[in-house]
């Protein structure tokens, strides 16, 4: 069982994380992964870059808790969850969630569960630098609350 | 003593990333009320219609959560990671 | 919109396919991928290798139809679906489904839909070579029929 | 004329990967009946309790599907890719 959770300012190599979640484990039948990428357009505005702030200490605990909950709910063989902080530019990866399991259904459920809860429970905040030079904090989306609520408690 | 931290847009609005208060109010609700009583941006942030989330000792908490000496309390806007 | 569907006897580079589905498109906010890997154990037996047979001509049509259906159901920016044929060994990738979209929910739905339907509608068959030297055709699983039926028609 | 193809375990059981028949039976059901009438493994495959799927001109079909001259009919066991 390979579990890896990281928050990093360095560039995120999403493909390496996806490869690592099943490396050396021939029991794995399926790997489902989600890679969140920075877009150059948000709410109709051109975005030049984004700064990701977080709450050091709490972030790691929150991510661990989300992953532990996934491990309790589903039969998994590996999870890698890596989130970028600091300044990112399109199309940098912001987050990767990779889940390995013997069977695909569990890997799909767990991967989506982890990203849905990360979006509402992990203390990250995005500030966008627009192409016109102005800055703004990104607003939370009610669709993210709805996605997390859909999993029940 | 309670350590308070402010994050993201809340930190910018309050012009502070944190502070230490010497009295331990009984609960998160009481601490919010004390901060709101400062008026101005504080009043708006902690008693207005904005959604300010709270964590106690780095775990998500709510207004009913009790506080004790040595606790760390984080206030922040809804999260936008991922 | 990048669509790529392939059946190949050559080794499958799953990571390259995942990278390619969003390459150069900064509108993409999320990439969801499924990689199916060959396991060294099936139904309690050690498996040395597997031969994947298919129905040339029909396979490509069937895969295209599944992808077209996904494109109708969800707002997607890219799909890559590559399936291996011929002889594979653990832990070779057998199939990769990579879906790019502006928002993650649609990418998750489409990715799982495509693999669920591939498992019941695309003409591939697996013959296993067990570690003891005997061979057997892999039986279809009723759980795969159930997964596909869950999407309605 | 109809081109018939057999795949995977069905091909092995019948000892044939395909054949051409000169008469075009009216439907898949009629073709299955004609093949089953050969007896032995054919009878078992096409009239037994095994599940043999069918495609006409490389599209999934069923017993009610009609056949015409020049069609390609594929018979095969339930698929196991992915």
Is the per-residue pLDDT at C21 higher than 70? yes
Top-level CATH class of D2-76?
Answer: alpha beta
Q: How many of the other CB atoms lie within 10 Å of CB of C146? A: 12
**B80/A123 Cβ within 8 A:** no
Q: How many of the other CB atoms lie within 10 Å of CB of B23? A: 12
3-state secondary structure A11-46: CCCHHHHHHHCCCCCCCCCEEEEEEEECCCEECCEE
Interface residue of D3, D14, D72, D80 to substitute, partner C, most C CBs within 10 Å: D80
A68-95 mean pLDDT: 98
**C119/D81 Cβ within 8 A:** yes
Q: Contact at 8 Å (CB) between C124 and C111?
A: no
Residue B50: pLDDT band by 50, 70, 90 thresholds?
Answer: confident
Q: How far is C114 from chain D (nearest CA, A)?
A: 10
Searching chain C, which residue's CA lies closest to the CA of residue A25? C91
Considering only CB atoms, A124 lies closest to which of B5, B55, B80, namely B80
The H-or-E segment that residue A136 falls in is strand A135-137
State residue C76's pLDDT score.
98
Considering only CB atoms, D7 lies closest to which of C53, C94, C120, namely C53
| Residue D4 contacts C where some CB pair is shorter than 8 Å | no
User: What are C68-118's pLDDT values in tens digits?
Assistant: 999 999 999 999 999 999 999 999 999 999 999 999 999 999 999 999 999
Ranges of each domain in chain B: 2-76
User: What are D8-63's pLDDT values in tens digits?
Assistant: 999 999 999 999 999 777 999 999 999 999 999 999 999 987 799 999 999 999 99
User: What are A31-57's pLDDT values in tens digits?
Assistant: 999 999 999 999 889 999 999 999 999
State residue A74's pLDDT score.
98
**B9/A140 Cβ within 8 A:** no
CATH of C2-140, one of 3.90.1170.40, 3.90.1150.10, 3.40.50.2300, 3.50.50.60: 3.90.1170.40
β partners of residue A52:
A86, A126
Cβ-based contacts under 8 A for chains A and C: 97
**Distance from C-alpha of A84 to C-alpha of A96, rounded to nearest angstrom:** 9
Give Dmax over CA atoms of chain A in angstroms. 51
**Distance from C-alpha of D73 to C-alpha of D56, rounded to nearest angstrom:** 5
pTM of the model: 0.95
State residue C1's pLDDT score.
82
Is the per-residue pLDDT at C153 higher than 70? no
Is the per-residue pLDDT at A6 higher than 70? yes
Residue A153: pLDDT band by 50, 70, 90 thresholds?
Answer: low
């Amino acid at each position: 069982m390979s579990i890896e959770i990281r928050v990093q300012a360095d560039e995120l190599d999403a493909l390496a994380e996806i490869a690592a979640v099943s490396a050396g484990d021939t029991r794995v039948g399926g790997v489902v992964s989600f890679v969140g990428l920075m877009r150059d357009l948000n709410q109709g505005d051109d975005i030049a870059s984004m700064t990701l702030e977080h709450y050091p200490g709490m972030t790691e605990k929150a991510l661990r808790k989300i992953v532990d909950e996934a491990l309790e709910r589903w039969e998994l063989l590996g999870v890698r969850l890596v989130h970028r902080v600091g300044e990112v530019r399109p199309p940098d990866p912001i987050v990767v969630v990779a889940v390995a399991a013997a069977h695909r259904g569990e890997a799909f459920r767990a991967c989506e569960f982890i990203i849905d809860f990360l979006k509402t429970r992990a203390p990250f905040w995005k500030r966008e630098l627009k192409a016109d030079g102005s800055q703004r904090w990104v607003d939370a989306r009610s669709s993210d609350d709805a996605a997390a609520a859909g999993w029940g408690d | 003593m309670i350590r308070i931290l402010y994050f993201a847009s809340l930190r910018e609005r309050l012009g502070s990333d944190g502070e230490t208060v010497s009295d331990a109010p009984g609960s998160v609700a009481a601490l919010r009320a004390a901060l709101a009583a400062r008026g101005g941006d504080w009043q708006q942030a902690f008693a207005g219609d904005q959604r300010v989330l709270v964590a106690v000792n780095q775990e998500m908490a709510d207004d009913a959560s009790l506080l004790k000496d040595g606790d760390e309390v984080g206030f922040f806007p809804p999260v936008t990671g991922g």
